[in-house]
Each structure stands twice: as structure tokens, then as C-alpha cells.
Structure 1
Amino acid sequence: MSIFDKIIDLSSRTASSILKREKPESLADSDLFTDSDKEYILKHLTDEKLLKKRAVLLQQFNKKEDWKAIQSKIDVPVKKLQIWKYAAAVAVLILGSTLYFSKNHLIENEPNKVVVTKSVITPGTDKAILVLASGEQVALGKGSVYNSTGVHSNGTEIIYKNDNTAKNTIAYNYLTIPRGGQFFIKLADGTKVWLNSESKLKFPVSFVDGQPRQVELVYGEAYFDVSPSTAHKGSHFNVLTQNQNVEVLGTEFNIKAYQDNQTIYTTLVEGKVHLTGSFNSTILKPGDQSVLENHNIRVAAVDVFNEVSWKEGIFSFQEMPLKDIMRVLERWYDIKTVFKNKAIENSTFNGILDKDQKIEEILNIISNTNKIPYEINQKTVIFK
């Protein structure tokens, strides 16, 4: 029996209950678990014998074949992430219970002692800077409300409505997401965009049906759920990046084009996209990811959930090198990383973790799994 067979056995009743239930809009919805589910979960979060078992299992949580096993055991389509997130919630639950045990029973005896010096590290939250066509800047975030002609923000999202009177001029706004932030925007044509930390989007405040709809991901990462061309007199939707144009008809896809990495990753979840640029034009099918580097492009099938789970509040690391994991964590927690031992930068880790967890909890799992000591000094993580 593989490690994930054991984990799935521990969580089978909860997983079954979640997947059979009508799917709410978010994992936080109050009807996600029944009272019996909550009692079952509480028992498995506090039973010390079960916690010890999971602490042992976690030490083996680094095998590629075990990662694949959980996908095959949970019989839901990967095509739609909205279903996948409920399966992922179970994995987060199991890891969360192990975190509880590690935090209260294991860490004090671990050789990888953690030194924390005035840590002020908190998980990211909904926040952004909106720059209007006039140059005016508006801070958006929880607790703030913004209203103007054709646009409204409640602090966690910003919604535009098409202005059918503006036909002759196109006004552009910019939405910038800082480190430690994320934000959702609904464009005037109905296209939905989730923006990850350290990202910037340029977009028109309104669209003209029948004419191309074009936005620019200046840098960063964004997930697009595009309003179909059939709803806009056949007008195509285009996303520009520095070296690439993505043309779509109505689809869902993810683009990652960060400033500190010259490589651009485009992952198609559903529909069809046409990629053009200083390379041979390419068409992606669902499950494909294109990798554009030095004007050369290659395409391969990928684990879609692993690539886009960030928009559902989940870190999904599959055989990911520690240096790449830390880049993700740096953006979300607004921290810096120092590797005193360069040899550990390429140590790989597998895990599904909650983005709302404390950074210490995530680092403890990585440290205990890979036997890598670290310390936190202010907002800098130091691996020894």
C-alpha cells in the first residue's frame, strides 16, 4: 500500500461527503461539512495516535508515484478545477492535522531547530493599486470601497461595466498587485481575471462589440476565464505579454510571466488558444502547457491542478526544487530567502498546502521532510 493509499484511507469518509455534496462557491462556505463531518474531522485532528501515524507518513511524502496515486484514487475530472478543489481540501486537511502534531509534539525535539527573530511575516491578502487613465492611483483592499462611473470595488474584487457611450476613444486602466497580495477583476466584457502576487494588468475600461478585445499582462501571473466571442459579435480576445500573444475564442487558461524569470508559461484548462510571436505559432489543447524561452517554444501535457491551484488558495508543489518553492513563498509572504548551502537549492518537495497557513508551519513541513535546517530573521528565511 502506497503512502497516499494510507492517507486516502484515513480521509475516505470526508472526501466522499465533500464530493457528493452540491458544490458551494468557496471552501469557506458554511454548508461544506455536515455536523457528522465536523465531528469526524475534529476526532482525526486531535487523536494523538492518528496524528503520530500521519507525522510518520509525512516523512515519506516525497515520492512522485505517491503523488500520482492520490489523483487516480479521487475519481473526479481534472478538467474543471472547481471540482478538484474539494478533493484538494481533503489533502489540506490531512496535512493540516500533521502540522498540528508537528507544531505541538515534534518540533521541540527536531535537530532542525528554528530561530525566529522578531518575525512579522503574515500570509498575503486581497490588495491592489488601481491606476486610472488620468494617472490617479486608488488603493484597493479589504475594508475599502471604491465607486466610480462603470466600476465598483468592495475591497476584494473590482467589477467593470461596459460603457456603450464611449465609442471613439479607448481609456486604459492598470491593476498592480504587490508582493503579499492577490486580486480579482471582472472586465467590462464579462471576462474574469484572477491576479497573483507581484502582477500587473493593463486593460480597457470598456470594449466595443465586433472589435478585438485586448489586454496586456505586463508581468506576473493571471488566470483568465474569457467571455466567449459569441457574446461579442465574434470579437476575439487577446492577451499580450512581452514576447507572446495569446488569442482565444472563449476559454480558461493561466499565464505566468514574472519579471525575475524570462520564461513564459501558458497552461490551457479548457477551450482553445492560439499562440503567436517570434516563434512558430502554436495551438494548445486542454491540459497542455507551452514554455516560451529565448524565442523558442515547446509544448507538453502537465498536471493542470498543480499549475493553477494558486487561485483556489492552495500551494501545490509537485517535485518542485526548493529554490522555486521559495520564489512562490517570497511573493505571497513578502519575504526574502538566503541559501547558505547552495547544494540544497535543488532539493525537491511534494505537498499540497493552504495559502492561509503561517510561513513557519509550511517551512517546518519542508524542513522536517527534507531534513533541511533553517531560521527566520525578521522577514528573511535562511537555509543553512
Structure 2
Amino acid sequence: MSRHLHIKPKIKRKLKHLIYKFLSNTITHVELEELRKWLKNKDNKKTFNAHVRDLYAINMLYNNAIDVDKALKNVLMNISKPTKVTPLYKRSIFKYAAAILIFVSAGYFFLIKDNPLIKGPTIVNNNIEIGTDKAILTLDDGSMVALEKGKTYVADNIISNGEEITYNSTTTSKPEVAYNYLTVPRGGQYHIKLSDGTAVWLNSESKLKYPVTFNEGKTRQVELVYGEAYFDVSASTNHKGSKFKVQTGIQEVEVLGTEFNIKAYNDEDAIYTTLVEGKVSVKNTFNVNVLNPNQQSIINIGTGLVQINDIEVKTVIGWVQGQFVFKRKSLKDIMKILSRWYDVDVVFTNKELENVIFTGTLYKKQNIEEILLLIKNTNFINTYRINNKTIVLN
């Protein structure tokens, strides 16, 4: 457990406030002296270091990695100097202080959003909520069941605790197979365990078609109708050698036992298949490609052309672990991902902002205002406006 968790909440909040005011150049001489005195204590300094490290990786939203130790050393050294408070852009440690400013402000927005010294965004009416576990289950007879956190659903061989739905381990020899659909709306996510033991995580705005039970000895096949899903497939050795296939639009993925991610949203012009473990065969009308771990196939929906790239899988599957990991992603692509999770519309008043590139990690449990503040503090955008469920960036 980090040391800073042992500090009294009131003192910890005060510390965060002073750190932010120092980095944003709004700290008074009295407050700066208070911060200096606090940091003279070795344990307090360790707490400060731990607090910054725990907030985020220090290269958050920057194209180049920042040396954590060097950043902390420089900021602490600057705090200790008995000099007047100078504008942030004139400081020799700008790139380190600015980086830490972003992280500190993330967990700390509520303390400074009403500060009159800081020019803030415009919030007309914020109806934006953090995404949560929810989905619509469509049964074989066409009836629909709303699955959501805190609600239990039980029927035949199905049980849901509100966060995931599980099908009992059964097989059938009947020629006719009953299918269910699981649809996750914008602002949602859901986990499903199929009757063969395969685990599937569905991202926001996704839909999966699957059999209630699989035919014994025959190919196990599901369909990702649209959206994004992460599969942890039960090995064929557990099912008399039967293969597992995922149909997605113009492509079919065949596996023997593996973990992989497929992204195939309706508003994108390609299907992305990323292999984490094992081996998969990705087929369409024109091509058959076998992927190895840490490879991604990109199929252009319009032309059918395929591109195979080596990739850092953490940038693709971070959403399963509660993160959004971006590596040289445009702000347009980032906001598209966030719009699905927070169920919002995003408008760019300056189209040039769409092409600004970021690298870093965001967390799905963050309030949208915290994330927007992080982006604003990079100085690439002037400000933002929230009106109901619409975000305007300029």
C-alpha cells in the first residue's frame, strides 16, 4: 500500500491543492512557503513521489516519454528554491512540470474547477455519466431482457449478476441451434461466458450473436455483428477437437485456443484483428493470413485488402482492463473512443485539432471533465464546452 494513503484526507487534499497551484503558477508566496516546509520532511517527500507515480504513467498524453525520477527531482528542486514565482513557460523544467501538472490535475479536478484564478471551461449542463456494466439480452423467441449492474437475471441455463452473463456448460446433439444476442449500448460494457467456457468481453456499442449451446463435435461459431470484443477461447482439446470461429462482416477468424481482439465498428472502414496469445487464421474473400502473437490484421472493408502489422497489444486490449491506452493516436480517434464509453457527441470547431497526436493512458473510471482537463492542460486546445451530452472542443 502506498504511503500517501496513510495521510489524513484533509491534509492530502491540501497537498494536492498546493502542488497544482505551484505547477499552474497560481500559488501565492505564503502557500509556496507552506509547501516547502511540508516537503522538508523525508516521509512527506516520499508521499509526494508516491502520489504522482500512482496517478498515471508520467508520459501521459505526450509523444515522448518523460523520465519520472528526473521529473520529480527537478520539480522538487524548483519548489525548494526561495525565488519568486515565475510563469510556467519561462521555467527550465517546463516539460517535467507540465507533465506532472497533467497527472496531478486528473485526480484533483474538483479542487480547482471553481478557482477564479484559473480560466476554466464552459459547463452549461453536464449530463455525461461514466460508462458502466449494461447490456440487452435478446432471447431466441425475440423477447428482450435488460441486464444492468445490481440486477440479477436467472432463466434455464442462464444467470447474470448484472456485470456478466454465464451459460451453463452444456452441449446438444439437436440439429437446430437456438441463438441469443447480447447488445451493449454506448456507455456500456459486458462480459459473457459461453456454454463451452469461452469468455468474451464486449465493448461499448457492440453486438454478439451466439448459440445458447454448441453442437457437440461440430465447429463452434459466433458472430460479432458489430463493435469490439475480446475473446479468451476454450481450447479445442476440451471439445473433441472442434474449432472455434468468429464471423465479422467480410472476415472469418478461425482459432484452436487463444486470446484475441476484434474491432469492427459500423462507423469505421476497416476490421482490426489483434492476436494476444496462440494462433489464428484470418480469412476473407481474397486472402487467408495466419497471425502470430503481437500481430494485427487490418482488412479494408471497401477493397478487401489486408495489411499485417506488428503491434503493442496493450494499446489494443487496455479497454478490457479498464484503461484507454493510446500510442500516437489523433485527438479525433481518441474522442471517438471516448464518445462510445461516455455516450456523448463531440464537435470540433477547429478541424485542425482532430489531427493533434497524443500518447498516454486514460482510465475508464475517470469523470469526463477530468479527461478534458488533461487534454486542455497540454495547451493544444484552448478550452471546451459541455452542454447536456455534447462536447465542443476549440
Q: Alpha carbon RMSD of aligned pairs, Å?
A: 2.7
Instruction: Tell me the alpha carbon deviations over residues 245-283 of structure 1, each in whole angstroms, 9 at most, x when there is no partner.
Output: 000010000000001012111111111000111232101
CA drift at 1:193: 0.2
1:383 aligns with 2:350: no
Q: Is the 8 A contact 2:172 2:213 kept in 1?
A: no
Q: Map 1:10-159 to 2 at 5 A.
A: 33=1, 36=3, 38-39=5-6, 47-48=15-16, 51=20, 61-66=60-65, 97-101=104-108, 103-105=110-112, 108-111=116-119, 113-159=120-166
| Structure 1 counterpart of 2:392, one-letter code | I
Match of 2:275 in 1: 268
Counterpart-to-counterpart distance in 1, 2:8 and 2:263: 36
Whole-angstrom distance in 1 between the partners of 2:349 and 2:65: 31
Structure 1 residues 307 and 60, CA gap change in structure 2 (3 angstroms): closer
C-alpha distance in structure 2 between counterparts of 1:54 and 1:231, whole Å: 57
CA offset digits 1:274-298 (Å, max 9, x no partner): 0111232101111101111120111
Query: What SS is found at the alignment partner of 1:188?
Result: coil
2:330 equivalent among 291, 298, 321: 321
SS in structure 1 opposite 2:378? helix
Question: How far apart are the structure 2 equivalents of 1:260 and 1:338?
Answer: 16
- Output the amino acid matched with 2:137: L
Alignment of 1:243-258 (within 5 A): 243-258=250-265
**How many corresponding residue pairs?**
327
Alignment CA distance shift 1:274-1:37 (3 Å): farther
Match of 1:301 in 2: 310
Unaligned runs of 5+ in 2: 26-51, 69-99
Indicate if the aligned counterparts of 2:105 and 2:373 stay in contact, CA closer than 8 A: no
CA contact (8 A) 1:211 1:235 kept: yes
Corresponding letter in the other structure for 1:310: W
Q: Determine whether 1:374 maps to 2:384.
A: yes
Give the TM-score normalised by structure 2.
Answer: 0.76
Q: Percent identity?
A: 46
- State the Cα distance separating 1:47 from its structure 2 match: 3.1
Q: What secondary structure, in the 3-state scheme, does the structure 2 residue paired with 1:345 have?
A: helix
How far the C-alpha of 1:186 sits from its partner, in A, is 0.1
Whether the aligned pair in 2 keeps the contact of 1:60 and 1:369 (CA below 8 Å) is no
Asked if structure 2 preserves the Cα contact closer than 8 Å seen for 1:61 and 1:369, the reply is no
Contact 1:256 1:266 in 2 (8 A): yes
Equivalent of residue 280 in structure 1, options 257, 280, 287: 287
Query: Following the alignment from structure 1 to structure 2, what is the Cα–Cα distance between the partners of residues 301 and 97?
Result: 33
- What residue in structure 2 maps to residue 19 of structure 1? none
User: Aligned to 2:208, which of 186, 201, 204?
Assistant: 201
Return the alpha-carbon distance in structure 2 between the equivalents of residues 53 and 278 of structure 1.
Answer: 59
Instruction: Indicate conservation of the 8 Å contact 2:186/2:341, yes or no.
Output: yes
User: 226, 230, 233: which is aligned to 1:223?
Assistant: 230
String of CA shifts for 1:7-52, please: whole Å, max 9, x gaps: xxxxxxxxxxxxxxxxxxxxxxxxxx37x57338978876346556
Q: Tell me whether 232-241 or 157-166 shows the greater mean CA deviation.
A: 157-166
1:332 aligns with 2:341: yes
Matched, 1:354 2:322: no
Q: Does 1:343 align with 2:352?
A: yes
More displaced, 308-317 or 41-50? 41-50
Distance 1:102 1:108, change over 3 A: farther
Report the secondary structure of 2:282's partner residue.
strand
Matching residue's letter, 1:345: E
TM-superposed CA distance for 1:229, in Å, is 0.4
Q: For 1:321 and 1:301, how far apart are their aligned partners in 2? A: 19
Distance 2:343 2:198 in 1: 29
Q: 1:313 to 1:209 in 2, by over 3 A?
A: same
Unaligned runs of 5+ in 1: 1-32, 71-92
Q: How does 1:229-244 map to 2 (within 5 A)?
A: 229-244=236-251
Cα pair distance change 1:332/1:105, threshold 3 Å: same
1:259 aligns with 2:266: yes
- The structure with the larger Rg is 2
Out of 207-216 and 93-102, give the one that drifted further.
93-102
Shift of 1:163: 3.4
With normalisation by structure 1, the TM-score equals: 0.78
Deviates more, 1:166-175 or 1:128-137: 166-175
Corresponding residue for residue 160 of structure 1: 167
Closer, same or farther: CA 346–233 of 1 in aligned 2, 3 Å:
same
- Retained in 2: the 8 A contact 1:229–1:236? yes
Distance in 2 of aligned mates of 1:61 and 1:177: 29
